[in-house]
Every structure is written in C-alpha cells, then in structure tokens.
Structure 1
Amino acid sequence: MVELRASVDPALVVAIAESWLGTPYLHQASTRGLGTDCLGLARGIWRDLHEAEPISPPPYTRDWGESSGREVMWEAARTFLIEIPMGAAEPGALILFRMVANGPAKHCGILVSGPALIHARETTGVTREPFTLPWRRRAVAAFLFPG
C-alpha cells in the first residue's frame, strides 16, 4: 500500500528559499545569512517548515564524482520528502542533480517561477538563476516537502 502524504504549500517553500538568497557558500553549513551549501539550504527550508530536522546528516565530501555507487542524497530525500515525477515538478519542488554522468546525485535546488532555480553554489552562494537546458539535463529527481 502506498502512503499518501500532503505536501506543504509550494508558495511557502519558494518564499523560504528566497529568504536564503545572498547567503554565502559554506560546505556542510546551514545558517541563513551566514553560510550554507545546497543540502544546507534544503535543511533550512525543512527547519522553517517543521521547526527541527529529522536527522543530522553525516559528513560528506564536495566530490561530484564519488564512486561509492550509493545515492545517499536521493535515499535521504525519499525517506523524508514526497517523490514526484520530474515532469510534474513545479515551483516549490526540490530538484536533485547528477553533476557527473556516472556519479551520484549530489546537488539540489528549489524550482521557482521563470522557470528558475534557487540553489547554493561554491562560487556565488545562494543564488537564483534560469533553469536552463544544462540544468534540466542534469535533473534526475523531484520532491515536495511534506505538510
């Protein structure tokens, strides 16, 4: 039997993501205005929605091409979020990206209108940029935040 969970209002997710714009990049951090990485942005949105995180993530590397064979980020997203088909993703969805063809999905961001993406990049911090074809080609999964 499939468990059906209601998602949170996507407009609220977008508003929270926008409140992180301009936060500098800091690997493994998750503090709005001070420093975050892409996972930290997703964690911060979760905290704003649910007041606490369900788990603390283990240490992780910046290496896009890890060859462990495990989809750690994808597995965690499936545990706590609501997976939807990529084609059904609309503003407010968390998108996972595979940055290296044979590597695991190790980047994420929030889809917003435009279409655009709010995500944390090492070179720019939390930014909004167009959801262009290169990003769409790397997108492998989409999720909604549960209510």
Structure 2
Amino acid sequence: MSEAIVDATRLWLGTPYVHQASVRGCGADCLGLIRGVWRDLYGAEPETPPAYTADWAECGPSEVLMRAAMRHLAAVDPADPWHPGQVLLFRMRQGAIAKHLGILSQAGEAPQFLHAYTSHGVIESPLTPPWRSRIVARFRFP
C-alpha cells in the first residue's frame, strides 16, 4: 500500500499552491493534497474540513488538524520505523498549533517528503533536520 500512496501523491507534483484547494493540476494546499490522495485511494472524503487560515504561526487551544488526523488516520508510534506513505504532521513554530502536512516518499539515509508549499506548489523536498524537528506526529492511511 505504501508504494500506491507515494505513486498517487506524486501525480500531484507541480500542482500550484492554492489555499484550501484540492484539485490535482489546478490547486492544492497541504491539507488539500492529503484530501486528494485520500479521494484517489478511497473515493469520498470522510468529512469536509472547516475553513482555516494559512497562518503557520497560528496559536490557539485547539489542535484541529491533529484531531482530524486522529479521527481518520492511524497514529504511528514514535518508536516505529519510518515508511514511505506515512502522513507527517508538522508544528512550524514553537507554541503554534500543528498546521502543515506531508507524505513521506522516501525513508532511510536520504528521506524525502511530498507536500504543498506556499509559492512552490506540490513539491518533493528533502526531509532535512529542520523539517524533521518540526514533526509532531506520523500517521498511516487506513
């Protein structure tokens, strides 16, 4: 299944970044990419996300994205190995809520992940130490 997830995600490469969008080739943000991969794998989405800001530094008492991931994805134990196809949830600033998502495309010595990134669109990036240090949770598609 992990290969199918990565293959489905790579079909989104080059999709422009558009906040709250989820249309392959037309526009997607990081959540829109995960939503689109879900549709490609399973069909209908399990819920419609509420409106949200693009602000990675947003603070607040409610981890909306974390709670949604817990409802629809399977949490990966932090001690478990890293595998392609895992969904990565990032907290971009200390004290902020977790607001960025990606899909691990390559594990091992040179890990990479796929994500929709402001001004870049859907890209594949090295999972460098600064990126890795911001990961707060990993999940598997069901």
Aligned identity (percent) is 49
**1:12-51 maps to which residues of 2 (within 5 A)?**
12-51=4-43
Q: CA deviation at 1:64?
A: 1.5
Task: Normalising by structure 1, report the TM-score.
Answer: 0.91
Counterparts of 1:126 and 1:85, CA distance in 2: 27
Q: CA deviation at 1:70?
A: 0.9
Q: CA deviation at 1:65?
A: 2.0
- Specify the alignment match of 1:84 in structure 2: 76
- Specify the alignment match of 1:3 in structure 2: none
Counterparts of 1:60 and 1:89, CA distance in 2: 29
Aligned partner of residue 117 in structure 1, secondary structure: strand
Counterparts of 1:41 and 1:109, CA distance in 2: 8
Q: CA deviation at 1:93?
A: 0.2
Task: Normalising by structure 2, report the TM-score.
Answer: 0.94
**1:61-140 maps to which residues of 2 (within 5 A)?**
61-87=53-79, 88-113=81-106, 114-140=110-136
Q: Aligned residue pairs: how many?
A: 138
- Specify the alignment match of 1:5 in structure 2: none
Deviations 1:46-87 (A, max 9, x none): 101111101110000011122221110000000000000234
Counterparts of 1:26 and 1:62, CA distance in 2: 10
Counterparts of 2:60 and 2:99, CA distance in 1: 12
Q: Which amino acid aligns with 1:51?
A: G
Gaps of 5+ in 2: none
Q: Which moved more, 1:84-93 or 1:111-120?
A: 84-93
Q: CA deviation at 1:123?
A: 1.5
- Specify the alignment match of 1:4 in structure 2: none
Q: Which amino acid aligns with 1:103?
A: A
Counterparts of 2:15 and 2:78, CA distance in 1: 27
Structural RMSD (CA): 0.9
Q: Which amino acid aligns with 1:100?
A: R
